[in-house]
Amino acid sequence: MKIQQIRNATIIVEYNNSKILIDPWLMPKDYMPGFEAAINSQIRQPRVELPFEIKKIVNVDAVIITHIHPDHWDEFAEKALDKNIKIFVQSTVDKNYILLKGFTNVEIISETGTKFNDITLYKTGTQHGRRDIIKPLCESINMPYDAMGIVFKSKNEKTLYVAGDTIWCDEVLDALNKYNPDVIVVNACAATVLNGEQIIMNIEDVKNVLDTVPEAKVIASHLDTVSHLSITRKDLKEFKAENNIDNLLIPDDGETLNFTSNN
């Protein structure tokens, strides 16, 4: 298994001889304004450029879109990807949205398992911020609330859990207990909306993951890119150093992490 951090939540997973692109946000630096309902709305985003040209990033076998938010899927991904490429989504709503963009091979990932090239993908639950508070806020600005996580399983590879846009919650704990993953990707910039609520993991949430599955490698993603971040790579690296945490990995944009297979 290889996991390449591209930018923000955009990663490429090489798993059981397949390359899967997750959450392609491919626009250039400063292309879009900050989110009006979140902190730092005056800061344009993405804050940084892509580490590679788009052509290299989209040279994959399939795409997973965890949810249709504008920092996880954009017009540049829509234009760059082959319209016949396999795309996995979380729901009928997201499937119909992607089909309307001209893509022809779109499938919903099931909680009971969806097959792709000798890989089984499982949808897992999330809370993209506390549901009772953030879901009504999203609905008030016509933005969908739900996101998903994904578990990758194969007899030839370690179990991978990409938690997606979520805070620490029962849904994440359930996934950790059910799948006991060897490698976990968490989105961890503590993006914050105007009422002070965080909508993805902060340092305490990351610590909860580390404490729950102490043998797993935990990769921090979704860093240093969106306008509404409140935690940086530097913050996480200081937390790691102060607590001597060897199994927390904080890759730079463009960096690839390698994990041995089960063979």
Beta-carbon count within 10 A of 252 CB: 10
Residue 92 lies in a domain: yes
Do the domain assignments include residue 261?
no
Tens of pLDDT, residues 119-134:
999 999 999 999 999 9
Question: What distance in Å separates the CA atoms of residue 2 and residue 21, rounded to the nearest whole number?
Answer: 12
Residue 143 lies in a domain: yes
Average pLDDT, the chain: 96
The angle, 0 to 180 degrees and rounded to 10, between the axes of the packed helices 233-243 and 203-212 is 50
What single letter denotes the amino acid at residue 84? N
Residue-level pLDDT at 142: 84
User: How far apart, in whole angstroms, are the C-alpha atoms of residue 202 and residue 145?
Assistant: 19
Burial of 155 (0-12, 13-18, 19+ CB in 10 A): exposed
Assigned token pair, 64:
């997973």
According to DSSP, the β-strands at 149-153 and 160-162 are antiparallel
How confident is the model at residue 263, as a pLDDT? 52
CATH number, position 132: 3.60.15.10
Using CA atoms, how far apart are residues 252 and 4, in angstroms rounded to an integer?
Answer: 9
Average pLDDT estimate for 241-259: 97
Number of domains within the chain: 1
Residue 258 lies in a domain: no
261 pLDDT higher than 90: no
Total number of residues shown for the chain: 263
pLDDT for 170: 98
Q: Is 259 exposed, middle or buried (0-12, 13-18, 19+ CB in 10 A)?
A: middle
Q: What is the pLDDT of residues 24-67, one digit of tens each?
A: 999 999 999 999 999 999 999 999 999 999 999 999 999 999 99
Residue 258 pairs with which residues in a beta bridge? Answer: 2
So what's the pLDDT on residue 214? 97
In order of 50, 51, 166, the CA distances from 56 in angstroms are 11, 10, 28
- Inside any domain, residue 259: no
Q: What is the structure's pLDDT at 262?
A: 65
Is pLDDT above 60 for 155? yes
d(CA 88, CA 74): 16
Helix (H, G, I), strand (E, B) or coil at 75: helix
Q: Is residue 260 part of a domain?
A: no
Is 164 within the bounds of a domain? yes
- The whole domain housing 77 covers 2-251
Each as own residue / partner, the long-range contacts of residues 207-213 (CB below 8 Å, 24 or more positions apart, any chain) are: 207/239, 208/168, 209/163, 209/168, 209/172, 209/176, 209/184, 210/245, 210/247, 210/248, 212/173, 212/176, 212/177, 213/176, 213/180, 213/181, 213/184
